[in-house]
């Protein structure tokens, strides 16, 4: 019981970005644990046969039997490539925390999870639309589309935001353009589904930004998972608008001098403004 309490206390102390990373990492290692159990008990099963029900496929004859996969595929990553989950979670941690601080956990969750769905839909449509994919059997996993949505949302919110790469500063706009073009030109060179999903997530990040305060159908979908009332959601959106000018000025300061340049009062304001959203 003590161990359980410690685990629950640890999870409770995490913010939403850290919790999502924690759950995704746990899911990533779950197949390894199951394979060991199957081996020890001489069970003729492979974890892949179980988890493939959560991988998205563009084949409608398979997709119809696992419609949930358009969402669940984002929680799984390539078992043979540690870099797949490492870079996704690293980028999500860095940019996800910025979104969390500026707009709050609800916006972060909506943006990330809807970005995963948007990337999945783009993948399905593309594989059934373009002749080059005719007859191709494929499946896809990874949270990259959700991460792309976050990066491009933040890019359009403040394209001049600077990030530190080794010994020099780079505007987020230039990084986003590079990543987008890289995905486009790499479509013919392998992992076409993944690159297409990235593009879908990136476009969704732009759409999400343009409709930040007018997301009726997105709010409707997520209302199934929320207990708050619509009236409280409207009030929170009004708070977002009310605080936007000050948030913008703080974000500009971060772009110019970095997060550490903020005063204690500015950091507290940013945190409180984020919690209201």
Question: In this structure, is residue 167 part of a structural domain?
Answer: yes
Give the model's pLDDT for residue 273: 65
d(CA 267, CA 249): 12
β-partners of residue 168 are 165
d(CA 59, CA 124): 8
Angle at 44 between CA 42 and CA 46, to 5 degrees: 115
Sole residue written with tokens 């530190």: 164
Give the model's pLDDT for residue 7: 85
Question: In this structure, is residue 121 part of a structural domain?
Answer: yes
CA end-to-end span of the chain, whole Å?
A: 35
Q: Extract the tokens encoding 56.
A: 């998205």
Q: Residues with Cβ < 8 Å from 186, sequence gap 6 or more?
A: 195
Give the model's pLDDT for residue 239: 47
- The helix or strand, by DSSP H or E, that contains position 48, with its residue range, turns out to be helix 47-51
Question: In this structure, is residue 239 part of a structural domain?
Answer: no
| Other Cβ atoms closer than 10 A to 78 | 14
Question: In this structure, is residue 255 part of a structural domain?
Answer: no
Give the model's pLDDT for residue 276: 53
pLDDT of the chain, 277 residues: tens digit per residue: 577 888 888 889 999 999 999 999 999 999 999 999 999 999 888 888 899 999 999 999 999 999 999 999 999 999 888 999 999 999 999 999 999 998 999 999 999 999 999 999 999 999 999 999 998 999 999 999 999 999 999 999 999 988 888 778 899 999 999 999 999 999 999 899 999 999 999 999 999 999 887 766 666 666 655 544 444 444 344 444 445 677 777 777 776 666 667 787 777 777 666 555 4
Q: Extract the tokens encoding 182.
A: 């890289």
Q: What is the CATH number of the domain that holds 173?
A: 1.20.1540.10
- The helix or strand, by DSSP H or E, that contains position 231, with its residue range, turns out to be helix 230-257
Question: In this structure, is residue 29 part of a structural domain?
Answer: yes
Q: What is the model's pTM? A: 0.81
Q: Residues with Cβ < 8 Å from 90, sequence gap 6 or more?
A: none
d(CA 250, CA 95): 16
Question: In this structure, is residue 168 part of a structural domain?
Answer: yes
Beta strands in the chain, from DSSP E residues, in sequence order: 56-57, 139-140, 162-165, 168-171
Give the model's pLDDT for residue 220: 61
The total domain count for the chain is 1
Q: Which residues of 13-46 are buried (b: 16+ CB within 10 A; e: fewer)?
A: eeebbbebbeebeebbeebeebbeeeeeeeeeee
d(CA 208, CA 161): 18
Q: Extract the tokens encoding 258.
A: 């970095």
Cα torsion at 189, 60, 198, 100 (round to 10°)? -160
Question: In this structure, is residue 270 part of a structural domain?
Answer: no
Give the model's pLDDT for residue 242: 44
Residue-by-residue DSSP string for 172-210 = HHHHHHHHHHHHHHTGGGS-HHHHHHHHHHHHHHHHHHH
Question: In this structure, is residue 18 part of a structural domain?
Answer: yes
* 170: helix, strand or coil: strand
Q: Residues with Cβ < 8 Å from 208, sequence gap 6 or more?
A: 110, 111, 114, 115, 149, 153, 215, 218
Q: What is the residue range of 163's domain?
A: 2-226
Could you say which DSSP state residue 171 is in? E
Give the model's pLDDT for residue 3: 79
β-partners of residue 170 are 163
């Amino acid at each position: 019981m003590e161990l359980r309490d410690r685990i629950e206390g640890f999870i409770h102390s995490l913010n939403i970005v850290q919790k999502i990373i924690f759950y995704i990492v746990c899911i990533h290692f779950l197949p390894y644990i199951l394979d060991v159990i199957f081996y020890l008990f001489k069970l003729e099963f492979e974890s892949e046969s179980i988890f493939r029900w959560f991988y998205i496929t563009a084949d409608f004859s398979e997709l119809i039997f696992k419609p949930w996969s358009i969402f669940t595929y984002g929680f799984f990553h390539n078992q043979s490539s540690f870099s797949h989950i490492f870079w996704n979670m690293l980028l999500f941690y860095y940019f996800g925390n910025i979104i969390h601080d500026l707009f709050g956990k609800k916006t972060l969750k909506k943006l990330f999870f809807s970005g995963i769905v948007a990337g999945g839909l783009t993948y399905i449509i593309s594989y059934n639309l373009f002749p080059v994919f005719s007859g191709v059997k494929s499946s896809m996993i990874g949270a990259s589309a959700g991460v792309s949505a976050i990066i491009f949302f933040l890019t359009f919110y403040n394209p001049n935001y600077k990030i530190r790469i080794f010994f020099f500063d780079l505007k987020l706009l230039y990084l986003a353009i590079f990543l987008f073009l890289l995905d486009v030109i790499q479509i013919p060179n392998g992992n076409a589904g993944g690159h297409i999903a990235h593009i879908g997530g990136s476009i969704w990040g732009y759409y999400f930004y343009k409709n930040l305060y007018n997301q009726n159908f997105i709010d409707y979908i997520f209302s199934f998972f929320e207990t708050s009332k619509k009236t409280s959601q409207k009030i929170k959106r009004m708070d977002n608008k009310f605080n936007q000018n000050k948030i913008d000025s703080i974000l500009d300061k971060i772009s110019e001098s970095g997060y550490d340049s903020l005063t204690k009062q500015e950091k507290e304001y940013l945190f409180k403004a984020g919690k209201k959203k």
